[in-house]
Amino acid sequence: MTCREREHHRLRGVLAHVRADVLRSLHRSPEAAAGGDDLLHRVSAFMTPQLHCLFLHRVAHYLHVNGWRRAARALSRANLTLHKAWITP
């Protein structure tokens, strides 16, 4: 499947993937699963370094797919600086 088929070029698709990432993290983490699935626990799960890094990658990929290559590269470099994780857009 291409990025266009998976709707990576649409902001709505990116947000849907981020929402799925947060829910997946909540269901796999023993600490978060004990807390529940309300808004507070979703926000706290989103603020973990792993999901924050993945969010920055998804936004960089969105920019890359839509032709904003320099902005995508800059965001990817910022992700490397903040999280020490190099994920190409």
- Cα separations (Å) of 3 from 8, 19, 43, 64, 89? 5, 18, 27, 11, 12
Residues in the chain: 89
pTM over 0.75: yes
pLDDT in tens, the chain (89 residues): 666 666 667 778 888 888 888 888 888 776 655 566 777 777 777 778 888 888 899 899 899 998 999 999 999 999 989 888 777 76
